[in-house]
Amino acid sequence: MRRLKPAFFLLCAWYVLPGFGQKTLFEFGVRKNFDQLIRGENSAAPLRWIDVNTSDTTWYRKGDVLVGKGLPIGVVRSEKMYQNFIMQVEWRHLEKGGNSGIFVWCDASPEDHNRLPSGVEVQMLELDWVNQHKQNGETPPVAYVHGELFGAGKTRTLPDNPRGERSKSVENRCLGVGQWNKYTVVCVDGTIKLSVNGKFVNGIRQSSQRKGYLCLEAEGAKIEFRNLQVIELEEGYILPEHIVEKL
């Protein structure tokens, strides 16, 4: 009987075993440990991103900046899952009315009807979006545009500042097309607080998902990200139903 080479079994595992052989599409940002920061150890590991349903031409690096071209609509996900953490990121839209965001506590499993997954979306809409999407002839308040937090897909949350099931920012602090904005996102035990350009203005609580992937969103418009870092905090009490399925 002919003996099969080890390479054959590795090839099989690539296609069969969950999570085995998943290719890193790019590295962007860093993750740090809070305890190490407190001790003065500034060690960091790169954040690795795996394509879910975009393409290898959707994203590209321009020095320290990650550029997302917006199409096809979809997401890339972080290599690992996160529960309690602080995320800081800078972003800017390059088109008026541009649409994008970052999902946290995400299952990274897109739905057929919109190609987007379930999780809590940290919205990133350019300010002119309200002028391009009038409702019954009326312009929506600009605070709806940036910094909304909401449960997307199957995820459920309670809004601090309700706009239906979504939570809107209580104050507009976003800058428009071509200008950099900074988000600080604190995620702990089902509660999220969002700071926009130096001030906390929004939040949600009681998220039905509390441990999952980070996902960067492509939603039709060109956007740039820079200075992304995730600081991992201590784990908290969590039930199995709060954890997404590991990919």
| pLDDT value at residue 18 | 41
Nearest-angstrom CA–CA distance, 23 and 36: 29
CB 177 within 8 Å of CB 125? no
pLDDT at 115 over 60: yes
Q: Which of 72-76, 119-123, 133-137, 168-172 has the lowest mean pLDDT?
A: 133-137
Lowest mean pLDDT, pick from 57-66, 139-148, 198-207, 213-222:
139-148
- In terms of Cα–Cα distance, which of 224, 185, 182 is closest to 70? 224
Host H or E run for residue 199: strand 199-205
> Superfamily assignment of 19-234 in CATH?
Exo-inulinase; domain 1 (2.60.120.560)
Tell me what the mean pLDDT of segment 45-59 comes to: 97
3-state helix, strand, coil in the chain (%, to 5): 10, 45, 45
Which band of pLDDT confidence, cut at 50, 70 and 90, is reported for residue 15? Answer: very low
- For the segment 24-52, the average pLDDT, to the nearest whole number, is 94
Phi and psi (nearest 5°) for 171? -150, 135
Residue 219: pLDDT band (50, 70, 90) is very high
User: Does position 29 have pLDDT exceeding 70, yes or no?
Assistant: yes
Per-residue pLDDT, 10? 39
More confident residue, 23 or 86: 86
The pLDDT value recorded for residue 14 is: 36
pLDDT surpassing 60 at residue 62: yes
- State mean pLDDT over 38-47: 92
Average pLDDT, the chain: 90
Domain ranges for the chain: 19-234
Q: What would the pLDDT profile of 18-28 be if each residue is shown by its tens digit?
A: 444 478 999 99
Is pLDDT at 114 greater than 50 in this prediction?
yes
Section 148-166 average pLDDT: 95
Q: Is the pLDDT of residue 17 over 50?
A: no
Number of DSSP helices (H) and strands (E) in the chain, helices first: 3, 17
Residue 143's pLDDT is 60
Higher pLDDT, 123 or 130: 123
